[in-house]
Structure 1
């Protein structure tokens, strides 16, 4: 445990960290990769180059400093991060390396402001926080390996089928190459996919949601191809999967992980709201509810640019047709002429509160949403304005964690856009950043 003196010193550094946090984490990553280039096999290079990773890490450090006197209050966040660390293969021996480079970065950026007393306090605090992560992750590694059909590290999977779902999204049906049993998972969880791309020095790891229900003889991931765009490089892994991986090829997967999961014990209505490729974990939840022949009222809302980029639509419609408890709605930002002719959508433009109240029977429900950050900010703002309790609101970022606070109206750009600011639908870390 930390002494009261150490806690006060750490908390006193919060204002400085709020000013210099991203500068410190930028320096940290430079030091880390210069001294340990092998860690580039774990970290997401695209998010490094775009600066999103250092911002997320800075926010995580500030949060830890603010709550250093009650670390138990951030345990849910620790578990979320630990799931991602376990899926990536982060090991206990990585933590001292990170700690050493973080303290050096603090000293380099703050100069004389980083006194020996402050550095010592942060060294002690980091040791305690790292210890919590190591303990939680060790338990997760054990569970992943010891569960029925489970495994440690990465396991070879054969691409049994490759299916184009829309103009930008393709599904990969994956089965164990060894013919062994397949571990179950919670709807909403993801796997890490590790690939070696010809011409690339390092391996690349991305995390993709499992887009079908558990209990199938395969895992399915549905990947959005990320081509080069304004201020955004092409997604190396998503382009590789789309262009070069074919049926019969082998991909290496971690065991399923993740905290964004459907509460199947809740008997109240459930509302699933997705934007673009953010539908993947929610389709898994929907398939699971349908397979269980749920008596819960289920509302599934998907926002997309138009039918050209709307993936898995027919599968979702079929579930709705087979169950009187499942109701589906589609919102298209810019419908095509054919969409208009066929009346292929329920709302044009963006999801707004009056329409949401029309299609969702009650606010006494569990709400799950996922998609591009602007879309998520909009949905979060609408639910907040409607008075939905925070405990009933569940979401997950595709990319380094950010903030959903903000004006829903001002977040309309991206409300239904297919794209988002990460590669494909890969998830990122917020601690030992990829």
Structure 2
């Protein structure tokens, strides 16, 4: 890409800042009309609530703003690539996306989309696509070479369902072929594909693995998302909650760049809200079975005890673990049930600061968007280095704090 073409890309930045979401909304509408089969690749829930068009608009803008040095986006691209491989994205998908993205730029921007600008964006997109295809091919090969690893979708049987709370069920998933399953780092996720009758579509969703690894099955723990205000009920979570033992689902290989290194012995601080508990429990259980355990602080927040999952599991680990300190915050709890580590209100890291400010500690945050932002900023206010803060967002990449 030459200097003049990069300048043309940068010239479109003001348009992307003000009209990026209109562009991406047009793009998705156009692409799904021409390639309706891609509705089974994309999260149609995020299409309906607008999160996907917002995420793509942010990504296109970030790429334009960093067109001189796209390498600075490499960590973001790795996260996208990891998500793409969990959805079985292939090079041919990039060709379809590119065709409709460039056409959308022309149709939305109108007379401002000169032939030179369209050519520059075509080259820029192809450059980015090449980076992503190469990155994703490496991930596919790594997955294939793992013991028990695979590429694409693999059928799993739900052999056990456990009600963890009034909202959350755990699903124990065993491969139909009876072979072993791939190892993973605690904190990673799998994509689950199910048929949704209401949409007459297969739909994929990502769910964190909620236990330490074992070689014969995976466990995911899913919150049944109810309709709140303008947000519709979670179509996939509700479909999963209607499943019975013996039913099957399709799974991709474990993926994700949010994880704790199992070999590390540095202190761990785990901060979760609601269903964000799932990757944290995987990290905690993995640490429990290590010979040399890392000092760990567990901080969890939820509305009340009825919706909290895994409280007994964590208390059981805590009972005999001198390496673990726990804090639980409830928005609604009787005064008589409060004790030193059970606190009324939302998470306040000031209360825990004497326990969490540990030398060389790594801080992991998972929960809703506003929760992540609040805890991230609280850690910064406690002078925690942002390089030691990691977060997982259960939505299509709307947060960019690092």
Q: TM > 0.5 between the two?
A: yes
Matched position secondary structure for 2:191: strand
Name which of 382, 388, 391 aligns with 2:384. Answer: 388
Matched position secondary structure for 1:283: helix
* Counterpart contact for 1:299–1:328, Cα < 8 Å: yes
C-alpha RMSD over aligned residues: 1.6
Q: Which residue of 2 aligns with 1:83?
A: 82
Q: Which residue of 2 aligns with 1:301?
A: 299
Deviation at 1:295, TM superposition (A): 3.5
**Structure 1 residues 48-87: aligned runs within 5 Å:** 48-87=47-86
Matched position secondary structure for 2:196: coil
Cα distance in 1 for residues equivalent to 2:259 and 2:95: 31
Q: Which residue of 1 aligns with 2:239?
A: 240
* Counterpart contact for 2:91–2:133, Cα < 8 Å: yes
Which consecutive unaligned segments of at least 5 residues does structure 1 have? 406-434
* Counterpart contact for 2:186–2:262, Cα < 8 Å: no
Which consecutive unaligned segments of at least 5 residues does structure 2 have? none
Deviation at 1:70, TM superposition (A): 1.2
Q: Which residue of 1 aligns with 2:358?
A: 362
Q: Which residue of 2 aligns with 1:129?
A: 128
Deviation at 1:216, TM superposition (A): 4.9
* Counterpart contact for 2:185–2:262, Cα < 8 Å: no
Q: Which residue of 2 aligns with 1:255?
A: 253
Cα distance in 2 for residues equivalent to 1:86 and 1:306: 36
Name which of 324, 340, 349 aligns with 2:345. Answer: 349
Matched position secondary structure for 2:219: strand
Flag as ranges the 4+ runs of structure 1 deviating above 6 A: none
Deviation at 1:199, TM superposition (A): 4.9
* Counterpart contact for 1:296–1:325, Cα < 8 Å: yes
Q: How many residues align?
A: 401
Q: Does 1:373 align with 2:372?
A: no
Give the TM-score taking structure 2 as reference length. Answer: 0.96
Q: Which residue of 2 aligns with 1:32?
A: 31
* Counterpart contact for 2:182–2:215, Cα < 8 Å: no
Q: 1:348 to 1:404 in 2, by over 3 A?
A: farther
Q: Does 1:270 align with 2:265?
A: no
* Deviation digits for residues 150-178 of structure 1 (CA, Å, limit 9, x no counterpart): 11211111111100000100000111111
* Counterpart contact for 2:158–2:173, Cα < 8 Å: yes
Q: Does 1:403 align with 2:402?
A: no
Q: Which residue of 2 aligns with 1:283?
A: 281
Cα distance in 2 for residues equivalent to 1:53 and 1:107: 21
Q: Which residue of 1 aligns with 2:12?
A: 13
Matched position secondary structure for 2:178: coil
* Counterpart contact for 2:187–2:258, Cα < 8 Å: yes
Q: Which residue of 2 aligns with 1:116?
A: 115
* Counterpart contact for 2:207–2:222, Cα < 8 Å: yes
